[in-house]
Amino acid sequence: PEDSGTYTCVANNAAGEDTHTVSLTVHVLPTFTELPGDVSLNKGEQLRLNCKATGIPLPKLTWTFNNNIIPAHFDSVNGHSELVIERMSKEDSGTYVCTAENSVGFVKAIGFVDVKEPPVFKGDYPSNWIEPLGGNAILNCEVKGDPAPTIQWSRRGMDIEISHRIRQLGNGSLAIYGTINEDAGDYTCVATNEAGVVERSMSLTLQSPPVITLEPIETIINAGGKVVLNCQATGEPHPTITWSRQGHSIPWDERINVLSNNSLYITAAQKEDTSEYECVARNLMGSVLVRVPVIVQETKYNVLLAVHGGFSQWSTWRSCSVTCGKGIQKRSRVCNNPSPANGGKPCQGSDSEMRNCQHKLCPVDGNWSEWSPWEECTRSCGHGNRTRTRTCNNPSAQHGGQPCEGNAVEIIMCNIRPCP
């Protein structure tokens, strides 16, 4: 290109001189000064690709996408072009080529564009799943996205542990085999990839046929009494309780009604109420029936006489309260011969007696009296002895008690004065 310029040819002779000027331009193949490069962006974002090139003459820049020419999404001014696409979609991922071309030739720059798609749930699925208890349940969580989303299931804020009974399928759905009551509740599916996060909450309801938990019991009652037949059941949906009598509807009146806890209540029972009653618990999964007989007896009026109470025979005397010395013995009787009834008087008198008792005298151990005063010295001069005594009579040993321990006499030496 340095040879480009204006050249002048000069011719002269004796007759004169002439010149001719020409201009020389050296064309140069285009060269890129800025390449579009590779781009990764999320779906819905804007794409901007820049391309710059030099050359002689100045090259024209064009764009293609996957070998197809892109119409008028860019400007090309002075060897610079910026391709702008608003709100990219997954279909816009691919190879973008910027071509710089002039009279000498053309060059190409390649840029790869990857549009990431955040997770999106496939289809429209219900938020409440209803399955039979003991069957299999599949909670759907099919999603699409790029990169492929990871799926995590949780319940009550805790990740669900996958086991032989609870599995996550290849499409992200959660399969629960052999459902139990504890499987019912709310579940959350979270799908995550580099482009975003999406979650879906759903609840699983497990339906089960009714089971009677409190059965009515056979009732025999006198006419005029009250009858209460209890009947309670569990199931999903919660079962309804209905009553019948020998397969027919009960003629409801002010005497016969059903309480809020579904118990059948009959007041002022009559002989005509004697029958077999049926409690039926029903829900969408089935029904269960339990039968119970009620017998109303005619009232018989009897004249009841007052019975006054009478004591039984005295019991034998109990052992003495002590093993020696004076003690007490007791004996008792019961007011059951007969017991007072029908307003009769209670037994008259005491139901217990006491007396003194003594088996034998208790042993008494002997104890010494006080010491007597010291006697006079046995000698009036020189060495002699003085004596004092005590007696085992405070008290004396009696009835096999132990005698006093120690000596009854004590002797000491005495020396009043030397003998002459």
Which CATH superfamily hosts domain 215-297? Immunoglobulins (2.60.40.10)
- If 0-12 CB within 10 Å is exposed, 13-18 middle and 19+ buried, where does residue 176 land? buried
Residue with tokens 């919660």, as numbered in its chain: 238
Q: Report pLDDT for 304.
A: 65
| Span 363-420 CATH architecture | Single Sheet (2.20)
CA distance 415 to 279: 119
200, 121 Cβ separation under 8 angstroms: yes
| Span 122-208 CATH architecture | Sandwich (2.60)
CA distance 342 to 302: 12
Residue with tokens 């042993």, as numbered in its chain: 363
> What does the pLDDT look like over 38-74, one tens digit per residue?
999 998 899 999 999 999 999 999 999 998 988 765 6
Q: Report pLDDT for 63.
A: 92
CATH of domain 28-118: 2.60.40.10
Decide if 122-208 and 302-360 have a common fold. Answer: no
Q: Report pLDDT for 382.
A: 79
Residue 193 tokens read as: 């990839």
- Positions of the chain with pLDDT under 70: 1, 72-75, 300-304
Q: Report pLDDT for 383.
A: 82
Residue with tokens 């996060």, as numbered in its chain: 197
Rounded to 5, what percent of the chain is helix, strand, coil? 0, 50, 45
Question: With left for phi above 0 and alpha for psi between -120 and 50, is residue 5 left, alpha or beta?
Answer: left
Say yes or no: domain 302-360 is CATH 2.20.100.10: yes
291, 278 Cβ separation under 8 angstroms: yes
Q: Report pLDDT for 324.
A: 84
Domain spans, the chain: 28-118, 122-208, 215-297, 302-360, 363-420
CA distance 344 to 333: 19
DSSP string, 204-267: EEEEEEEEEEE----EEEETT--EEE--EEEEESPPEEEEEETTB----BTTEEE-TTS-EEES
> What does the pLDDT look like over 313-371, one tens digit per residue?
989 988 888 888 788 889 999 998 888 887 788 998 899 998 888 877 888 888 999 99
